[in-house]
Structure 1
């Protein structure tokens, strides 16, 4: 997505952030322990916590100053704490963005991490795509942990079945 205004980004972020909160809200404390694989000990909780901590890291790489707590702390064992932290981090980041950047800045060139040439708009797009990427990973791990993930861009399997059943009863 090529954002031309901060407002355009914020509309997209509010949509995607709301979907991320929907997924985070379905997590259980027990599901946070679900590992990616036997060889890869990263957990569902680690991925969820990474979504929180990545916001200030990625936006900070573009020079945005965010008054954020240190999210390099160990992953919480409480799913609600992770969801609440994501909500707070999102709010703080959006406030900082409105205060520090202008629409004109979005078209300016930016070099990230010494090897990614983009624009400030490109950075914002990367932040959104990053959360979508990990949100997809999380929904698979949720199924493996026995948690039904909510539908994101459409109904999930269970929601689709309920819709079909309701339609068939008419």
Structure 2
């Protein structure tokens, strides 16, 4: 749970930058990659991250929704651009519309009481959860993974180092 707008802003900025790296590494050809036909595709996960940020408007934050057009959903560059826009928009909305006191207020979500700071934490962790799923699909699609919390296997090899397996 976040109890400070400043703390949320710092953590959201870092996490959104990592998600942006993932989005920027996608290609139009990779968007259809899936584990099975019963699971989301890589493009479906990317779109889910774009659209899910806007769910925070149900808690009283106001910012523009992403472009929901098919053209966006079929373009890696458009998905990356939409993610960049909504990730900045939620940060600006939190910084300008909420206060530290507002983070402690509770709201009922799916029959449970959540404070706003907890909802922000969930939103941030939701991004990390799906980012992890995306890296698996990216690897299957033959894409180079960006370094996130540390170097990837490929980064180690490129640097002439023995990867930790």
Q: Same fold (TM over 0.5)?
A: yes
CA–CA separation in structure 1 for the residues paired with 2:153 and 2:2:
33
TM superposition shift of 1:67? 2.3
Structure 2 residue 151 is the aligned partner of structure 1 residue 152? no
TM superposition shift of 1:5? 1.3
CA–CA separation in structure 2 for the residues paired with 1:36 and 1:62:
34
TM superposition shift of 1:70? 4.7
Deviations 1:23-58 (A, max 9, x none): 111111100111231333x2100100110100011x
Aligned to 1:27: 26
Q: Tell me, which stretches of 5 or more residues in structure 1 are unaligned?
A: none
1:110 is paired with a residue whose SS is strand
The change in CA–CA distance for 1:93 and 1:39 in structure 2 (over 3 A counts) is closer
Aligned to 1:120: 116
CA–CA separation in structure 2 for the residues paired with 1:4 and 1:35:
38
TM superposition shift of 1:151? 2.0
Cα RMSD, aligned residues only: 1.7
1:3 is paired with a residue whose SS is coil
8 Å contact 1:36–1:44 — kept in the other structure? no
TM-score of the two chains, using structure 1 as the length reference: 0.87
Aligned to 1:16: 15
8 Å contact 2:107–2:114 — kept in the other structure? yes
1:7 is paired with a residue whose SS is helix
TM-score of the two chains, using structure 2 as the length reference: 0.89
Structure 2 residue 95 is the aligned partner of structure 1 residue 102? no
2:151 is paired with a residue whose SS is coil
CA–CA separation in structure 1 for the residues paired with 2:113 and 2:145:
35
2:14 is paired with a residue whose SS is helix
The change in CA–CA distance for 1:97 and 1:157 in structure 2 (over 3 A counts) is same
Aligned to 1:45: 43
